[in-house]
Amino acid sequence: MNVLYAAAVAAIMAAAIYMILSRNLVRIMLGLALLSTGANLLLFTAGDFSNRQPPIIAPGQDRLGDAADPLAQALILTAIVIGFALTVVLATVVLRAWRATGSLDARTVEATEQPDAPELLDPDNG
Amino acid sequence: MGDPLVLLAPVGIPLLGVAVTALLRTRPRACEALGFVSVAATLIAAIALIRRAIDGGPAALVVFGGWPQAIGIAFAARLPGPALVVVASIIALAVALYGHADIGPRRRRRGYDAMSLAMLAAVNGAFLTTDLFNLYVWFELALLAALGLITIDRREAQIGGAIRYAAFGMVGATAVLAGIGIIYGVAGTLDLETLATQLGSGPPSVAVAAAGTLLLCGFALKSGLFPFHAWLPASYASAPLPAAAAFAGLLTKMGFYALLVIVAGVFGGIGATTAVSPPLLTTIGVMAAATMILCALSALAQSDIRRILGYQVVAQVGYMAAGLAIGTRDGVAGAVFYMVHSMILQANLFLGAGAIRRATGSWDLTRAGGMTRSNPLFAFLFAVPILSLAGIPPLSGFWAKLLVIRAAFDGGSAWIAAAALVAAMLTIVSMATIWSEACWKSLSGRRVRKVPGAMLAGMAVLSAVTLAIGLMPEPLLRIARLSADALGGTGS
């Protein structure tokens, strides 16, 4: 079971890295989203799923018996939310780049670094 | 104040400020005042915290949610965290002062104040937490705030810088997350202190080595160590100047802090107490040497002031990593000293670059000049960080370099010392170029404007701290040694 999950993590991450290396900004974004999915699956595997009992203390006892590890689940939930937030912000930036340049090619977006463009000479007097 | 309050205030105050300034976004003046008050209150809280941290008693600790320590997330006043919280708050204060002259109502309406406070809160949170996953969360919060600051003007160059920053930052964060996952699978806890005992006693395993590699790569990317440095100078150059100064002072050092805590604290980097640490330290040493020399060389090839300083930021992280790689108590103390000195200095240099730009209208050194004649006070305030970075005694950079290089010789890593000395020579050349081009060279045909008072005030705060560290290095040295002890203590 562990080997299966490990192989799945490896496959997802390899696909994600392949996409991040692309020049298309949308592919980069999807690749980053996929990469965080791979990391979440890794966290899930690390949580050791040999037990499937919910972590609830049985009546009449004062400690937990065999149960699934709730901490790993909490970590994954947090990581999903963070990954989602970052993907949304990155999507906004990519959308902005597309509107500004009409292109999703990383080369056209990255090449625009003119340190002394006239609009910059008098920054922010609005 | 009770311990929980002291520990929560440096994170809670700026977060509260974020909420209120975000609501008041339409009223830029109120935002500015509120942002300034929040930062000043954070600084006061940070000073209370450092006093609590060095009073000799047991370290202040608060575990959230009433969980036992190894399970719940905790904040602790364990050095060097509180000292770095103080430095971060000082930098935020200076940047806020400076921003009065550089950040107009338009940027404030877009949420500049809220995002810079969020960044301060994230950095302080990372310096105080004792939980590895919580550390990762603070990194992501800082990444989001930094992205907002980089794109605040919505210019094309900023969008390009932001995409680069986001892509590299997210890859680094994911590597960290994967490392955390593996560590959790091996040790069953993410509390740094408990982890140190668990990993220290256990036999070496492939999983721990893999986790160590992932964490090293992730945090090295965050702190800009070679070979993960290429994104940094370009992304910093596209942010608004006060934000870039805060990035230079806070963000890379946050990455290095994480590296310090992981390598020296968890993996027993002081005295190489675990099986993983000798190869880890050698790797960091090679990365540090390459970072110092290559980035100092790259800085020489630039003429845009922000890019020169961007490469210098990275080169300085190389010095800190060199201190860490030596693997002795003195080395780690040197790294902590270097970190405090460098945070203040890099922020100040970026502020100075902005003032040069304001006065001469150019980021380009070949087109700048005449600052000594037109702004003598600026020339003095700018000379302090320049000379300090070059390592001229008695300024703070001299002590910092001395500590790291001497620790390298004592610790039997003469090659690290040699690399540090070569890089120091290159740094002197690069700093001398900035100074003579921007200040001494006379600028014919163009008028040099006056630097606004608020900008000078911001720089004055940081220059005063640099001078104070240079003239009285003893208190900081004591804190640095205590920090090395605290980090080593968790590793035993």
Residue B273, pLDDT > 80, answer no
Short-list B90, B121, B201, CA closest to B466: B90
Residue A82 belongs to what domain range?
A: 2-51+69-112
pLDDT band with cut points at 50, 70 and 90 for residue A53: low
Number of domains in chain A: 1
Q: Mutation target for B interface from A18, A86, A114, A122: give the one with most B CBs within 10 A.
A: A86
Does the CB of B75 have a partner CB in chain A at under 8 Å?
no
Distance from CA of A56 to the nearest CA of B (A): 16
Q: What is the CATH number of the domain that holds A44?
A: 1.10.287.3510
Structure confidence by residue, pLDDT tens digits, B370-383 = 888 888 898 889 99
Chain A residues with CB-CB distance to B167 below 8 A:
20, 28, 32, 90
CA distance A35 to chain B (A): 7
Range of the domain at B147: 3-491
- Where does the pLDDT of residue A117 fall: very low under 50, low under 70, confident under 90, or very high at 90 and above? very low
Question: What single-letter DSSP state applies at residue B366?
Answer: G
Q: CB distance from A62 to chain B under 8 Å?
A: no
Output the pTM of the full model. Answer: 0.90
Whether residue B276 is predicted with pLDDT greater than 80 in this model: the reply is: no
Q: Which of B13, B79, B42 is nearest to B333 (CA)?
A: B79
How large is the ipTM?
Answer: 0.84
pLDDT in tens, B197-246: 777 776 778 888 888 889 999 999 988 888 888 888 877 878 888 899 99
- A96 within a domain of the structure (yes/no): yes
Q: What is the pLDDT of residue B232?
A: 82
Question: Does pLDDT of A6 surpass 80?
Answer: yes
**A105 CB within 8 Å of a chain B CB:** no
- Percent of chain B clearing pLDDT 70 (strictly above): 97
Within a domain: A64: no
Give contacts of B180 with chain A, Cβ < 8 Å. 43, 75
What mean pLDDT, rounded, does chain B reach?
87
Decide if B165 contacts B147 (C-beta within 8 A): yes
Residues of B in contact with A72 (CB under 8 A): 184
Say whether residue B363 is in contact with chain A using an 8 A CB cutoff: yes
Nearest Cβ partner for A124 among B106, B154, B178? B106
Residue of A nearest to B354 (CA): A123
Asked if the structure places residue A60 within a domain, the reply is no
The string of DSSP letters for B204-238 reads P-HHHHHHHHHHHHHHHHHHT-TTS-THHHHHHHH
In angstroms, the separation between the Cα of residue B474 and the nearest Cα of chain A is 42
* The total number of structural domains that make up chain B: 1
Cross-chain Cβ contact B178/A39 below 8 Å = yes
Which chain A positions have a beta carbon within 8 Å of B182's beta carbon? 42, 46
Q: Give tens-digit pLDDT for B11-66.
A: 999 999 999 998 988 888 888 899 999 999 999 999 998 888 887 777 778 888 77
HSE value, Cβ hemisphere, 13 Å, CA-based, for B322: 35
Residue of B158, B177, B366 to mutate, interface with A, max A Cβ within 10 Å? B177
Q: Does A85 touch chain B (CB under 8 A)?
A: yes
pLDDT-derived band at B306 (thresholds 50, 70, 90) equals confident
Share of chain B above pLDDT 90, in %: 32
Measured distance between the N- and C-terminal CA atoms of chain B, rounded to whole angstroms = 32
Q: How confident is the model at residue A125 (pLDDT cuts 50, 70, 90)?
A: very low
Cβ atoms < 10 Å from Cβ of B373: 13
Q: What is the pLDDT of residue A122?
A: 46
Tokens of B236: 């910093």
Of the listed ranges B157-171, B189-203, B230-244, B449-463, the one predicted with least confidence? B189-203
Question: With an 8 Å Cβ cutoff, are A94 and B160 in contact?
Answer: no
Whether the per-residue pLDDT at B476 is higher than 50: the answer is: yes
